[in-house]
Structure 1
Amino acid sequence: ILFHPFSGVKPDVSLEIMKAGSVLRKAKSRMWRGHRHYKLQDDCKTIAYKSSWAMNSYSTCDVEAVREGHESDVFLSVADEYPPERCFTLVFRGRRGNLDLVAESAEEAQAWIRGMQTLIENLQSMGESEKLDQWISDLFLKADRNKDGRISFKEVRRLLKLMNMDMNEDHASSLFRMADKSQTGFLGSEEFVHFYKMLTQRKEVVELFQEYSSDGQTLSHCDLEEFLREEQLEGDRSQEHALELIQRYEPSDTAKANHTMSIDGFLMYLTSADGSIFNSEDQRLYQDMTQPLKHYFISSSHNTYLLEDQLKGRSSVEGYIQALKRGCRCLEIDCWDGSSGEPVVYHGHTFTSKILFKDVINTVAKYAFKTSEYPVILSIENRCSVEQQKVMAQLLKDILGDMLLRTTIDGKVPSVLPSPEELKGKILVKGKKIGGLESLDADNPVSGEVSDEDDSSELRRDSLTTESLPSDSKVSRCKSKQSLTKELSDLVIYCKNEHFNNFEHARIHGKPYDISSFSESKARKIIKEAAADFAQHNARQITRVYPSGLRTDSSNFCPQDMWNVGCQMVALNFQTAGLEMDLNDGLFSQNNRCGYVLKPEILRNSEQQFNPDKPQDPLIQVISGQQLPKVNNKVGSIVDPFVRVEIYGLPADQATQETSYIENNGLNPCWNETLEFAVHTPELALIRFVVEDYDMATKNDFIGQYTVPFSCIQSGYRHIHLLSKDGTSLRPSSLFVNINITEAS
């Protein structure tokens, strides 16, 4: 019997209620009144429901989380209509919209919440072998179109197309006959597993295994030790590590007892986290977190409230949840006067929807430290009246409570910023301030005037024309001063917005807590004209860079140029997938994804001149690919994959090379091509592996990618587990490579 992903789930009352089915209301708006019958199927893999026109279903494997109560924009907008104890939200992976449901009773809602949590936890606890078995099980079910528990050769041929492979029919038929032990002309589930293993046999792995096997059948712990030392460059711990790997990955108890590893165990090791290109030591919290804040790259979001474009897109608290889950530590909140004295958040002077400021802060309070315990910075763009600024300040204090940093940590004016370690669990407000920290204890006025030179004013200057804006937003943009209330000003401690005049002025007059913001175009101009001065400035103070206001589609600029000169807060539109977010995710994938990455020493010393060390020469042998996803859902459409390796870093290190493409094979393409690079400053470099579907006539289609800091790469034979355009896992899709890094003489 094929492995079933939920076969190990113990009998559960909640799951039984879900299987019996429930009439749930799908909440979309106050006006929508749709009721549907939702039912968990017996296989626990799908939730079926009937709409007005057809039967539909959701895969439980696609559900990332279940939220209880009013934790979505829809529920927040109709909070008075649905009691929170009857409400829950299913959150799907990728960019699929959430599903907001209302049960008939609190007890029924709890059953669905607990049941979904059980299914999610079961999936998360599955090992790599179980995940692969689940994938094979899904293939069998797809092939078995008439659901009789067996598949014909005709169904197998169709399956091969679904699996992204155009195999010679004679060869496929031969494998089918070999797997058909019962000689019935059909494959049962166990026979299909045998067929799949023959189909996906990794010739390149078998050859590598036999090269180090003393008897051609197994790897003794000495054989494995030699492989780890010679190929994986793990000489310091190879003997002890070899025994650990056998115990961890060898499926045979007999082999374990004999301290040997079979080909199955060897393949399991190579596809595991231990065999990943990303050094697991660098995925833990390994960096010094006691340096001043200015010495870190800080994962930062722009227009965090937007899920779409910044002209007509939807504003949502979901933007804050998703950014925080990705390790973002600096969130942007654009605040404007709302009706009934309630400040709202939206992209001003546009048609984007509005959400309540208090809902944003409630969301931040709940999710701020679920992914990382290090400080969260709220970059507040304040366009509110004095009256509503007071409301904002009170909401920040009431909702965030002790999490909100309201005084310096030692009660003194800082000569240097505190560290992420000292600010653990704290939320900082970044914004305008009347005076400086030196005047905290003085008799400040109730309100004061501050410069209007900040992100928003510059964004408006290079953004939209007044003719394209809503009629109520055609206001003067020439204001040079804005009234700021003392209540809000006092909440700005270590992150004061300060207009940038020039580097000399900042060096003489700048305070440690001053933060200057630059549009991408202004930052690029400075980098072109005075990169060394910019780097030295960023060794003294924090700089934030944000996308141009002309990017109405919420696209992003390449952040690497800004990181190269030490800009700490390079704010990107997290809602927009692509190369730029791949680089951001890649940089912050290290150091336990805590949202803070210690800058290289050369960018932390304001007096030191940049002088790159000897270059490193990585040789990257792109060997093969495994189970690459289809890019076209048509049965007969099969990818022609090729791999592009891209280096991002200092200009001298930027490079791109490609393999040739393989025709009609997304299942197990083999390239065996070696690409050579030279990297002069590895501590600033990122390496991106991209797989695309070659097309002679049109633009190549994206298949998957993986981006990793160059300094976190493990040498040797490694697997690269590909990610989708949205940054979600594409397992079991992977690349198999051999990395050899040498230092230039």
Structure 2
Amino acid sequence: MCQVFMDSPQSLFAKGDKDLQVMKAGAMLKKVKSKSWKKQRHFRLQEDGRTIWYKSRWAGTGHSTFSVADVEVVREGHQSEVLLSVAEEFPADLCFTLVFRGRRGNLDLVAESPSEAQAWIRGVRKLIQNAESMDDKERVDQWIWDWFQKADKNKDGRMNFKEVRTLLKMMNMDMNEEYALHLFTLADKSKSGCLENEEFVQFYKILTERKDMRRVFQDYSRDGQTLTLAELKDFLMQEQQEGERSREHAQELIDRYEPSETAKKQRAMSIDGFQMYLVSPEGAILDPQRLTLNQDMSRPLSHYFICSSHNTYLMEDQLRGQSSQEAYIQALKRGCRCVEVDCWDGPNGEPVVYHGHTFTSKILFRDVITTLGEYAFKASEFPVILSLENHCSVEQQRVMAQLLDTILGDMLLREPLDGLVLQELPSPHDLKGKILLKAKKIGGLEESETLTDEATDEVSDEAEPESPSAENLSAEALCLHDKKSKFSRELSDLVVYCKSVHFHSFEYSRLHSKCYEMSSFSESKARKLAKDTGTEFVHHNSRQLSRVYPSGMRTDSSNYNPQDLWNVGCQIVALNVQTAGLEMDLNDGLFSQNGCCGYVLKPDFMMNDDSFDPERPQDWDGYTSLQLSIQVISGQQLPKVNQKEGSIVDPLVRVEIYGVSQDQAKQETSYIDNNGFNPLWNETLNFIIHVPELALVRFVVEDYDKASRNDFMGQFTVPFTCIQPGYRHIHLLSKDGTAIPLSTLFVNVKISEVTTEV
């Protein structure tokens, strides 16, 4: 095998490690899906040290694989619902769970012995740590090694021209045979008719030479070989729009990315260093400084957009889908700071959580709260709002209150901070590490009246039947909103800053509502209010929290566009986070900033007395529009849509703007025939942005198909205010929101003021 690959960090790591040797030898592990579904599967680590292969002993030639890079964490013992359900049958020291990134379900496994389980647990953890610790060069080396393995069909450690032709198609590239042979011959220094050792690396370097970046480099390099400190400073100032910090930053970039010690001593940057800078996070379109926690977290809660989940307990659709604690774990890991619990009377006096009047499975309220207590603050230290949709009897509400109190302990907020009721909500900073209950409350925080053990009030807005959620929904259930419902004092007392109230009108709220009172709106009601009375909605949301939830007609757990509601300052715009698509891309894009903490500060004009109307932004006193110009230059290693070796994509790029209605726009490039490896567009798309503070920019790559709908390949969504101008790379994400290794777009972004209205 080629020495260059045997010396790669991954291969060296695999040498002699006892745990990895056990994994490479393979083992029969039980794959467990439920109490009744337990099947033996043969698992083994493949030679590449990063792919796990498994099959049934009866599956013939059929098998499955997954990459260790897709595994986020290994849980040991009974740390999943499935393994807990079989705890009596399988001891904890035999059990472990592989948790995947994105929306892929967990893999629950049972080993035949504790030592075997430990070998797999330790081995997978080592591989995850190794993958996460690789630098950019090591990742590229690994990428070359992976392709070499796939193309070396006869496994002789050499690659002939036929194998190279196959490789090019596997890599999403249909190259002219004569040109391919020319490149092959250039790399075949030994004239052996095969590529081996360094020759294949040389072939890869020829194949991946970035002429687009070299042209940019040479525009600023006097000698065409290096950028002097002054030349690099000019590039940073003129192209990257860095201004006065350019000189200091130029030296930092040389120190950080220049691989040549000679160039470093000369205070210069080579083309290799230049490329390393531009593909690094500093060269990305999303400003890395905006990825850190950088916003003022001392403002009232109502001044923030809050990452929120609807029907959080569901893994799938809301008619027949599975309810799971795992859904809460995934939502909280994504940064959600508002999760929903639908509670119903359960057997043995224990409340259960599920989508009422449907065929979704049921889980115990106790287990949901236990999960919340364990995972609430792992991704963010800022407060979590527990949105309670309460359908329980008074008796089981008391059980709920007791469980909340005993399980959450000091995490549960039980009374106003410092015992004071203020005129505005406390801040995320003030409420760090606290869980707030959102539910109906009898009376207010200011009142010292003694409540009876049971009190009545109207059912919360969420119970209003916008549509039946199942065919067998009873007439009695449809009339819920016309009835009175009883609430226990114990549960009511746990509601502090998120008291659910019915929305009457903006005028009523302005005159009578307290800052701790909040209303929930169906998507259709919220949209109508936003369109008809946008300015009033903005003012309302500067003082009070608003929650918006999807239509009951969305039985497939699809989502509405959250942008329309952010435009009027709605803080808790709840989405079905288990459902991938445009809407979740926008949500992930908005909340990717500020340390992914789940809170994003709203623009100033949404928090003061400005008369901002999203339908007429030009009437606002602070109105200034900007021009966004995006030159889509090239793509690199775009993903295949069809995994067949001979299938090659015809990629195009579409840029979509989401914001106020005047900013909604889409433009796309032409498509490139048969090249997903290094397509070149060099096309410029122009947009006018009227409200930059609310705009999101989404880059989408699709495989063009003239006969049917284009296939999705990758996307990236970024808040307009977080964009770095200049020559930038966009690191594409899959439909699930996970990174696609080495798959990028290269663009040049220019932002300027609009002097005359276009």
With normalisation by structure 2, the TM-score equals: 0.94
The answer on 1:317 being equivalent to 2:322 is no
The answer on 1:445 being equivalent to 2:452 is yes
Equivalent position SS for 1:210? helix
Pick one of 674, 683, 700 that aligns with 1:690: 700
The answer on 1:595 being equivalent to 2:598 is yes
CA contact (8 A) 1:351 1:469 kept: no
The answer on 1:7 being equivalent to 2:24 is no
For 2:649, the equivalent position in structure 1 comes to 639
* Equivalence map 1:646-665=2 (5 Å): 646-665=656-675
The answer on 1:308 being equivalent to 2:313 is no
For 1:525, the equivalent position in structure 2 comes to 528
Going from structure 1 to structure 2, the CA distance change for 1:82 and 1:561 (only over 3 Å counts) comes to: same
Residue 505 (structure 1) shift: 1.0
Residue 174 (structure 1) shift: 0.4
* Equivalence map 1:147-158=2 (5 Å): 147-158=155-166
CA contact (8 A) 1:62 1:93 kept: yes
* Equivalence map 1:514-663=2 (5 Å): 514-606=517-609, 608-610=611-613, 611=620, 612-663=622-673
* Counterpart residue type for residue 643 of structure 1: V
CA contact (8 A) 1:539 1:606 kept: no
2-structure distance, mates of 1:547, 1:692: 28
2-structure distance, mates of 1:182, 1:63: 41
* Equivalence map 1:715-730=2 (5 Å): 715-730=725-740
CA contact (8 A) 1:274 1:280 kept: yes
CA contact (8 A) 2:466 2:551 kept: no
What is the RMSD of the two structures over their aligned residues, measured on CA atoms?
Answer: 1.9
* Counterpart residue type for residue 4 of structure 1: S
Going from structure 1 to structure 2, the CA distance change for 1:94 and 1:5 (only over 3 Å counts) comes to: farther
CA contact (8 A) 2:48 2:146 kept: no
For 1:192, the equivalent position in structure 2 comes to 200
Residue 173 (structure 1) shift: 0.6
Give CA-to-partner distance per residue, 1:333-379, whole Å, 9 cap, x none. Answer: 11111122221111111111111112211211121111111111111
2-structure distance, mates of 1:351, 1:562: 31
Pick one of 451, 454, 461 that aligns with 1:454: 461
Give CA-to-partner distance per residue, 1:288-309, whole Å, 9 cap, x none. Answer: 0000000000000111111111
1-structure distance, mates of 2:644, 2:24: 33
* Counterpart residue type for residue 497 of structure 1: S
Give CA-to-partner distance per residue, 1:18-58, whole Å, 9 cap, x none. Answer: 34444432222222342334333454222333412145443
* Counterpart residue type for residue 313 of structure 1: G
Equivalent position SS for 1:301? coil
Give CA-to-partner distance per residue, 1:117-136, whole Å, 9 cap, x none. Answer: 22111111111222122111
2-structure distance, mates of 1:58, 1:736: 29
Residue 96 (structure 1) shift: 2.8
Equivalent position SS for 2:688? coil
* Equivalence map 1:6-405=2 (5 Å): 6-7=10-11, 9=13, 12-51=17-56, 52-54=58-60, 55-405=63-413
Residue 480 (structure 1) shift: 2.0
Equivalent position SS for 2:373? helix
CA contact (8 A) 2:459 2:481 kept: no
Deviates more, 1:679-688 or 1:112-121: 112-121
Residue 13 (structure 1) shift: 4.5
Residue 473 (structure 1) shift: 9.1
Deviates more, 1:387-396 or 1:326-335: 387-396
For 2:616, the equivalent position in structure 1 comes to none
* Counterpart residue type for residue 245 of structure 2: R
* Counterpart residue type for residue 91 of structure 2: P
Going from structure 1 to structure 2, the CA distance change for 1:480 and 1:79 (only over 3 Å counts) comes to: farther
Deviates more, 1:379-388 or 1:714-723: 379-388
Equivalent position SS for 2:312? coil
Going from structure 1 to structure 2, the CA distance change for 1:346 and 1:219 (only over 3 Å counts) comes to: same
1-structure distance, mates of 2:214, 2:38: 59
Residue 98 (structure 1) shift: 1.3
Task: Structure 2: give runs of 5+ residues left out of the alignment.
Answer: 614-619
2-structure distance, mates of 1:103, 1:137: 31
CA contact (8 A) 1:408 1:493 kept: yes
For 1:714, the equivalent position in structure 2 comes to 724
2-structure distance, mates of 1:152, 1:661: 32
For 2:617, the equivalent position in structure 1 comes to none
Give CA-to-partner distance per residue, 1:509-564, whole Å, 9 cap, x none. Answer: 10111110000000111112211111111111110011100011111111111000
Give CA-to-partner distance per residue, 1:140-177, whole Å, 9 cap, x none. Answer: 11111111111111111111111111111100010001
CA contact (8 A) 1:433 1:496 kept: yes
Residue 472 (structure 1) shift: 12
* Equivalence map 1:426-445=2 (5 Å): 426-439=434-447, 441-445=448-452
Equivalent position SS for 2:11? coil
Residue 219 (structure 1) shift: 1.6
For 1:502, the equivalent position in structure 2 comes to 505
CA contact (8 A) 2:309 2:575 kept: yes
Residue 407 (structure 1) shift: 1.4
Count of residue pairs brought into register by the alignment: 740
Task: Structure 1: give runs of 5+ residues left out of the alignment.
Answer: none
Equivalent position SS for 1:35? strand
Going from structure 1 to structure 2, the CA distance change for 1:250 and 1:531 (only over 3 Å counts) comes to: same
1-structure distance, mates of 2:572, 2:12: 45
Residue 414 (structure 1) shift: 2.8
* Counterpart residue type for residue 453 of structure 2: V
2-structure distance, mates of 1:379, 1:420: 17
Going from structure 1 to structure 2, the CA distance change for 1:9 and 1:479 (only over 3 Å counts) comes to: farther
Equivalent position SS for 1:261? strand
CA contact (8 A) 1:500 1:516 kept: yes
Going from structure 1 to structure 2, the CA distance change for 1:157 and 1:222 (only over 3 Å counts) comes to: same
2-structure distance, mates of 1:548, 1:448: 30
Equivalent position SS for 1:665? coil
Going from structure 1 to structure 2, the CA distance change for 1:184 and 1:551 (only over 3 Å counts) comes to: same
Equivalent position SS for 1:430? strand
Residue 190 (structure 1) shift: 2.1
CA contact (8 A) 1:345 1:354 kept: yes
Residue 475 (structure 1) shift: 7.6
2-structure distance, mates of 1:409, 1:506: 24
Going from structure 1 to structure 2, the CA distance change for 1:653 and 1:378 (only over 3 Å counts) comes to: same
Going from structure 1 to structure 2, the CA distance change for 1:339 and 1:473 (only over 3 Å counts) comes to: farther
Residue 78 (structure 1) shift: 2.8
The answer on 1:469 being equivalent to 2:475 is no
With normalisation by structure 1, the TM-score equals: 0.96
Equivalent position SS for 2:254? helix
* Counterpart residue type for residue 579 of structure 1: L
2-structure distance, mates of 1:479, 1:80: 47
CA contact (8 A) 1:519 1:548 kept: yes
CA contact (8 A) 1:540 1:606 kept: no
Going from structure 1 to structure 2, the CA distance change for 1:28 and 1:471 (only over 3 Å counts) comes to: farther
* Counterpart residue type for residue 260 of structure 1: A
Give CA-to-partner distance per residue, 1:657-681, whole Å, 9 cap, x none. Answer: 1111111111111111111111111
